Amino acid sequence: MNNPVLVEVLRSGFVESIHRGSVVVLAPDGRVRLALGEVHEPVFTRSSNKPLQALGLLRAGLDLPDDADLAVGCASHSGESEHVEQVLGILAKNGLSETDLGCPPDWPLNQAARNRVIAGGGGKRAAAMNCSGKHAAMLAVSAQQGWDTRGYLDPEHPAQAAIADAVEDMTGEPIATIGVDGCGAPLFALTLAGLATGYTRLVLAAPGTRRRRVADAMRAHPFLVGGTDRDDSELMEAIPGLLVKGGAEGVHAMVLPDGTAMAMKIDDGAPRPRTPILVGVLRALGYDAPELAEKAEHDVLGGGVPVGAARLTDGLLDKLD
């Protein structure tokens, strides 16, 4: 792939690094408003796929009456106490415990939370792993439906089959390949256009439907979706009706209240360029908030003070109609 340069990293006026990638913006009716790079080639969509995975679990019979539980089931959370307690609550309500989680033990992503764990003599735990909410939801539906809770990560497991069906339905395309995500769950390769389509179909669904409930739960509980100082949480808090969810290796997707959706993949997998792109697209679509100005560029430091920035390439969004 020869994807365009999306973000330039300037130090003392000199372009020190670049980040290439692909971005697609879809109108609510599915029309492509902007396509930069290979937006119709499959990529592993990582945790940006979690809202669609949650929908598959609801279709399989998952009963989570509390929307906060559903939100953390879509999360890549920071492992703060609120997140861990929410995950443990899902498990307890379904006769399960932390030892049933198939995700690997990990430290909290949030540094302050990690420091508290270390200061208290604690260690890594599965409930603190950023994908534990998704795993708790997969276990919950397995317990509720009488399925094997030990093999819930097998791609042939009924919970995973239901997820795959929902993903293909929502994206309108077949899953190109199935891999293994960092948390151990099945991982799907989809196109950015397909991922954006799925997000549009979530927010444009009728109120009260399972599709819409996923979107509404995430937007009602943005902190549970990410956490303190996390872009996804802060952007959803700043712009009413916005749904945004990042994933590893430079994947991110978002959808506006009117159904306009965007998905991106950074070629080198770096997280640094994603926020300037998210903010740039939001601004180009007519959205603004004080928080966006703060996130438009990442400072490049020299001697502890800003000497440059990682910023959107000039003219990159000029073709957005």
Amino acid at position 27, single letter = A
**Tokens representing 164?**
């795959």
Residue 35 and residue 26: Cα distance in Å, rounded?
Answer: 9
CA quadruple 233, 239, 241, 246: dihedral positive or negative? negative
Residue 270 and residue 4: Cα distance in Å, rounded?
Answer: 15
pLDDT score for 1: 62
Residue 266 and residue 272: Cα distance in Å, rounded?
Answer: 9
Contact status, residue 199 vs residue 254, Cβ threshold 8 Å? yes
pLDDT score for 297: 87
pLDDT score for 149: 97
- Ramachandran bin of 272, using left for φ above 0, alpha for ψ from -120 to 50, beta for the remaining angles: alpha
CA quadruple 132, 137, 143, 149: dihedral positive or negative? negative
CB count in 10 Å sphere of residue 290:
7
SS (H, E, C) the chain: CCCCEEEEEEECCEEEEEEEEEEEEECCCCCEEEEECCCCCCEECHHHHHHHHHHHHHHCCCCCCCHHHHHHHCCCCCCCHHHHHHHHHHHHHCCCCHHHCCCCCECCCCHHHHHHHHHCCCCCEHHHCCCHHHHHHHHHHHHHHCCCCCCCCCCCCHHHHHHHHHHHHHHCCCCCCEEECCCCCEEEEECHHHHHHHHHHHHCCCCCCHHHHHHHHHHHCHHHHCCCCCHHHHHHHHCCCCEEEEECCCEEEEECCCCCEEEEEECCCCCCCHHHHHHHHHHHCCCCCHHHHHHCCEEEEECCEEEEEEEECCCCCCCCC
Among residues 238, 223, 236, 233, which one has the least CA distance to residue 289?
238
Half-sphere exposure of 223 (CA within 13 A, CB side): 8
CB count in 10 Å sphere of residue 15:
11
Contact status, residue 192 vs residue 24, Cβ threshold 8 Å? yes
Among residues 244, 201, 202, which one has the least CA distance to residue 219?
244
pLDDT score for 288: 85
Residue-by-residue pLDDT tens, the chain, 321 positions = 689 999 999 999 999 999 999 999 999 999 999 999 999 999 999 999 999 999 999 999 999 999 999 999 999 999 999 999 999 999 999 999 999 999 999 999 999 999 999 999 999 999 999 999 999 999 999 999 999 999 999 999 999 999 999 999 999 999 999 999 999 999 999 999 999 999 999 999 999 999 999 999 999 999 999 999 999 999 999 999 999 999 999 999 999 999 999 999 999 999 999 999 999 999 999 998 888 888 888 899 999 999 999 999 999 999 898
